[in-house]
Amino acid sequence: MELRELDWFIALAETEHVTVAAARLHISQPTLSRALARIERTMGVRLFDRHQNRLRLNKYGEIFLAHVVRAMNEIAQAEERIGTLVDPDRGVISLGFLHSFGSWLVPDLLTRYRSLAPSTSFELHGAAADSVVDDVRSGRLDIGFVAPRPAADDLVWIPLGREDLCVALPPGHRFTGRESISVLELGAEPLVALRPGYGVRQVADRIFRDAGILPRVEVEVTELSTLRALVSAGMGLGLLPASRGGEQTLATVRIADAAAFRDYGAIARPFGPSGQAGLRFLHFLTDLATGPVERP
C-alpha cells in the first residue's frame, strides 16, 4: 500500500462517501474506488459496509483506521525530526524557566534568536527552579533558565547575569525612603515569600541562614505577581529581584548584605539537547555567557 492511499482511506473513513472524499482529495472517483479495492484485497476483508451510494466503516475498518492514523502520525513526526536535523531552523526547542524570567529574560533571548533563526519554534514551560532542573536532567526540556546556579554537578552551567535582591514594602511602611536595609532588620518583619524550590526563595533562605535568623514567612506563593498584590494589601514585606522592582508601583529597598543576589543562567545536559535546533540555540547562549561556561 502506498502512503497516499492510506491518506485516501482516512478521507473515506471521515466522509463515508466516495464522491465527497474524491472531491476533497482532488482525484477521480474511479481512482479512489480502485485504491480502496486494493487496500481491502491486501487486508483480506471489507473495511466498509456498502449502503447504496454510502459507505459505513465496519469493525474491521475501525481497527484498520486506528492503526493507519497512528502510523501516519509517526511518519509525520519522523519527517519533522529528520527535517530538523537537515535544517536546524525548522526545529522545536523546549525551554523551562522561572516564572520571574517570563516577563524579561525569555522574551529578550527569543526575540534576539528569532532574528537569526526565524523558523525555529519554542515550547515554553514556567516552573520552580527545582522542577526546571529535574526536567532538563531527564530530557523533558532541552534547556532551562534558573537562578541561582543549581547544586548539580551533572549539568552544563552557562552564566548570563546577576540580580540583586530587594524588599518590596506595603504602602506607608516605616522602611519607605530608605536606600538600603540589612537582613538583620527583617528578622521581626512578616514576610510574603515564594515557596521553597523557587530561585528567589533559595537565595532568601541562604542569606537569612547566614545571618542566623529564622524569617517570619507569613504567606507562601508561587508567582511574583501574587506576592506583589499581597504586599500591596499589607500582608507583609516581599522579597523579589531588584531589577524587576520597576514592574510594579510598590516601594522597594535594596538589601545591603553582600550575599543578597542571585546569579542566573542556562542549564543543559552535558551532551546538549537531542536536536540540532536545540544545539544551535545552546551555542547562541554560550556566546552570550558573562563568565566561564562550566561543564561536568
Whose CA is closest to 255, among 235, 240, 244? 240
β-pair type (237-241, 156-169):
antiparallel
Q: Which amino acid is at 142?
A: D
CA 154 – CA 132 distance, rounded (Å): 14
pLDDT digits (tens, 9 = 90+) for 79-131: 766 766 666 667 789 999 998 898 889 999 999 999 988 888 899 999 888 89
Ordered structural domains, the chain, with CATH? 3-85 (1.10.10.10), 88-148+272-287 (3.40.190.10), 161-262 (3.40.190.10)
Residue 274: its pLDDT value, please?
78
Beta strands in 142-184 (DSSP E): 143-146, 156-169, 180-181
Please state, as a whole number, how many other Cβ atoms lie within 10 Å of the Cβ of residue 164: 15
Would the CA dihedral through 29, 32, 34, 36 be positive or negative? negative
What is the band of 246 on the pLDDT scale with cuts at 50, 70, 90? very low
CA 9 – CA 14 distance, rounded (Å): 9
- Strand-pairing partners, residue 169, are 251
pLDDT digits (tens, 9 = 90+) for 180-226: 999 999 988 999 999 887 878 888 899 999 999 999 999 999 888 89
Beta strands in the chain (DSSP E): 48-51, 54-57, 92-97, 121-126, 143-146, 156-169, 180-181, 190-194, 216-221, 237-241, 251-255, 261-268
pLDDT score of 152 more than 50: yes
3-state class of 19 per DSSP? helix
pTM: 0.64
Grid-cell match 547575569, residue found:
161
Buried b (16+ CB within 10 A) or exposed e, 165-192: bbbbbbeebebeeeeebebebbeebebb
What is the band of 61 on the pLDDT scale with cuts at 50, 70, 90? very high
- Mean pLDDT of all residues in the chain? 88
- Between 3-17, 170-184, 244-258, the lowest mean confidence (pLDDT) is in 244-258
CA neighbours closer than 13 Å in the CB half-sphere of residue 281: 36
What is the band of 248 on the pLDDT scale with cuts at 50, 70, 90? low
What are 44's three cell numbers? 483480506
β-pair type (251-255, 156-169):
antiparallel
pLDDT score of 28 more than 50: yes
Residue 79: its pLDDT value, please?
73
Residue 91: its pLDDT value, please?
78
CA neighbours closer than 13 Å in the CB half-sphere of residue 132: 29
